[in-house]
Amino acid sequence: MNATRTPLPLMFGIPDDGMAQIYFQPGKPGPQVSFPGNLNFVGYLDRSRGPWFQPIYCGPRLTTTVDEVEPGRPLVNAVTEPHRCSVALRTIEAVVAKTQANCFNHPAAIQGTRRDLVSERLAGIDGLCMPRTLRLRIDEPAELGEAIARAGLAWPLLLRVAGDHGGKDLTKVDRPEDLRAALRDLPWGGRPIYVTEFVDFRGDDGLYRKMRLVVVGREVFLRHHIPAADWLVHADSRVPRAELLERELQELEGFDQGLLPLLRDRVLAIADALGLDYFGIDASLLPDGRLLVFEANATMNVLHDSNPQEPRWAGVIARIRRSLESLLENPGRWRHAPAGTRQ
């Protein structure tokens, strides 16, 4: 019989603005609370040997200290958003430095996942198409056009508010003269704006395809490969054709022998550049063989099964979950491990 595990400190971050999200979830009593900018995979893990984590909260107006963490005890960082939770990330980084602990998804690596920084870090990797991205803080709409012109970005462009994910507050702008109207529809409100060169990734069949790759340590998984009629690809925009769904599911089942040998070296080069233990990559395989990277960060929730009626989805999710559990149980395999503890 497996021994009961000792819970690991799990470092959660209160957003810089102190705001939480309140929502209702079917099957759970009363309102639920979540803090934007954190990845909550706790509820998806096998708890047959007891709880995995001891939660510790960091952020504005909280006095988290190293005294709350046993010296040298491995830490798991749940904060994933450098814009929303910068105070918490700095606190966790200080705790890690003081305790000299192994740290899962080290806060310094998370701080490096700003879209503009990812664009710079991945630009030189062979076999990638990494669109240029600027991070701009403007006071007036005219300043945006001036900054774009100075940088020499190629149109069309994608605009999005920093700190938002999942296609929220994202718009495509085809011409410079459309910028002012695009900003009116974008709730930026003084927050930084990302400007990214748009690369047309439509396939020969007229469809856009987006794959979500999941990296767990040195393992790579395919979570989905969605065909859509529009460039903004999400699960709910999947083209509802049986033959396309079957093709996608076959790609998931045969990933290790199919797409993985083609992608593995590039994906692990991304992992090495970002220094993360567990994260996702949204990308598309272009006709010329390059991998077009849309984003790479730790914010993606890949363990939620939105289609429990199809067992092949559940099989992929179960493999990712088991790999994550194995990695969490072996801190010596984490990327940030003090000298002498790395496996």
DSSP 24-57: --TTS-S-EEE-TTB---GGGS--TTS--EEEEE
pTM for the complete prediction? 0.93
Q: What pLDDT, on a 0 to 100 scale, did the predictor assign at position 66?
A: 62
Q: What pLDDT, on a 0 to 100 scale, did the predictor assign at position 245?
A: 92
The predicted-structure confidence for 219-243, as pLDDT tens digits, reads as follows: 999 999 999 999 999 888 899 999 9
CB contact at 8 A, 167 and 231: no
CB contact at 8 A, 100 and 128: no
If you compute the radius of gyration of the chain from its CA atoms, what whole number of angstroms results?
Answer: 21
Q: What pLDDT, on a 0 to 100 scale, did the predictor assign at position 2?
A: 55
Domains belonging to the chain, first-starting first, are: 8-111 (no CATH), 132-197 (3.30.1490.20), 208-331 (3.30.470.20)
Return averaged pLDDT per consecutive 10 residues of the chain, 343 residues in all.
77 93 83 88 86 92 75 93 94 92 97 97 97 91 92 96 75 94 80 94 96 98 97 92 94 96 98 98 97 97 86 92 96 82 58
The predicted-structure confidence for 6-18, as pLDDT tens digits, reads as follows: 899 999 999 999 9
Q: What pLDDT, on a 0 to 100 scale, did the predictor assign at position 130?
A: 98
Instruction: With residue 247 as reference, give the H or E element that holds it.
Output: helix 242-253
Q: How many CB atoms lie within 10 A of CB 221?
A: 21
Residue 149 burial (CB < 10 Å; 0-12/13-18/19+)? Answer: exposed
Q: What pLDDT, on a 0 to 100 scale, did the predictor assign at position 50?
A: 80
- How far from 178 is each of 127, 167, 191, 326, CA to CA, in Å? 33, 20, 20, 50
